[in-house]
């Protein structure tokens, strides 16, 4: 979905839980309250696949404001103007070279990283300085796309950034200001891509609310297949008997053979005859072992009747199976609390 400015990522998850009447909703990477853009949401059994998106690379449109430092490294913190000349556009463009490729980055003090069991932001709010370790991240691309120098003391740069998961764009703004002999903070942030998910394909909360008014079918029409965004993983076709075995958690020797060794991180998407995901599987001891199973054992198999592939749970049925009459909110979303 396309997250609006204002709510936290957790707030958005809570809203979608209420709208979808299911507790099982998670997201694919935190966006700060002021940030907007792509927030992948996973509903029902698809939450089991969220972990395979944690390493997805991200792309952002970032607005960096020079001339002041922020306690949170963004516009939500307390701003302190700094003396001295602000950088020029030419200095800015030259300075970006030091932020491309593999870099070491110190996370913001106001971040969700845990320090001895406590969130860094909780320590910072208590007036202490959390002891954070620098982390290695990769900046695939960082380019200046706009420059506003109308206020020579407080110029504004707009950057396009593509980076590895776990990169703090706030920290890039902070460090860029320091590298140019000034100070800077993040004034606005739009996530334009998260893995295979793009902003132009995202839907707003208003669209989701309107779809829910049409019932489960309306919301199901907005959902992507559970394995969307996992195109990097190879697929293996299972027979009807193999689907039933995987649904029961059994290891199998698939008729289609095993995926090539070293072709991926060890995971493969198993699909049925209709191309629908059955499970994420891994090779163990010469067999396919179910890792995450997304289908139920068909009742026909439980009663020893022949398996009809059309009876496997499809997307709409899977959504309906996750409905909660109470519509209560789980306070602990199945989501990473990291960028």
CA distance 30 to 107: 14
Is 148 a residue of the active site? no
Length of the chain as a residue count = 339
Q: Which of 32, 56, 227, 272 is catalytic?
A: 32
Q: How far is CA 161 from the centre of its chain?
A: 16
CA distance 279 to 313: 12
Residue ranges of E strands in the chain: 2-3, 25-27, 36-38, 41-43, 58-66, 68-70, 79-81, 101-105, 114-115, 118-119, 135-148, 156-163, 184-194, 197-198, 235-237, 267-271, 277-284, 287-293
In three-state secondary structure terms, 216 is helix
* Alpha-helix runs per DSSP H in 151-267: 169-179, 205-212, 216-220, 240-247
Active site members: 32
């Amino acid at each position: 979905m396309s997250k609006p400015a204002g709510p936290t990522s957790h707030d958005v998850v809570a809203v979608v839980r209420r709208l979808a009447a299911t507790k099982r909703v998670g997201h694919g990477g935190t966006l700060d309250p002021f940030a907007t853009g792509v927030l992948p949401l996973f509903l029902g059994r698809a939450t089991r696949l969220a972990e395979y998106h944690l390493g997805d690379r991200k792309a952002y449109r970032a607005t960096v404001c020079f001339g002041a430092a922020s306690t949170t490294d963004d516009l939500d913190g307390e701003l302190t103007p700094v003396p001295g000349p602000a950088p020029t556009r030419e200095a800015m463009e030259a300075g970006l070279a030091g932020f491309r490729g593999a870099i070491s980055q110190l996370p913001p003090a106001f971040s969700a990283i845990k320090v001895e069991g406590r969130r860094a932001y909780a320590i910072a709010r208590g007036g202490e300085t959390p002891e954070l370790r620098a982390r290695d991240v990769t900046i695939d691309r960082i380019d200046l796309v706009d420059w506003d120098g109308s206020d020579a003391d407080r110029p504004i740069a707009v950057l396009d950034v593509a980076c590895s998961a776990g990169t703090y764009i706030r920290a890039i703004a902070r460090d860029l200001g320091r590298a140019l002999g000034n100070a800077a903070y993040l004034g606005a942030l739009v996530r334009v891509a998260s893995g295979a998910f793009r902003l132009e394909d995202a839907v707003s909360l208003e669209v989701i609310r309107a779809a829910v008014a049409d019932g489960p079918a309306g919301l199901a029409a907005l959902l992507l297949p559970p394995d969307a965004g996992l195109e990097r993983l190879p697929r293996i076709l299972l027979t009807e008997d193999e689907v039933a075995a995987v649904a029961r958690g059994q290891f199998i020797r698939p008729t289609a053979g095993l995926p090539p060794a070293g072709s991926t991180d060890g995971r493969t998407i198993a699909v049925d005859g209709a191309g629908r995901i059955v499970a994420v599987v891994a090779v163990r001891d010469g067999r396919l072992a179910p890792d995450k199973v997304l289908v139920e054992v068909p009742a026909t198999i439980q009663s020893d009747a022949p398996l009809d592939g059309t009876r496997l749970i499809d997307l709409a049925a899977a959504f309906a199976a996750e409905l909660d009459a109470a519509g209560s909110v789980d306070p602990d979303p199945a989501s990473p609390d990291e960028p």
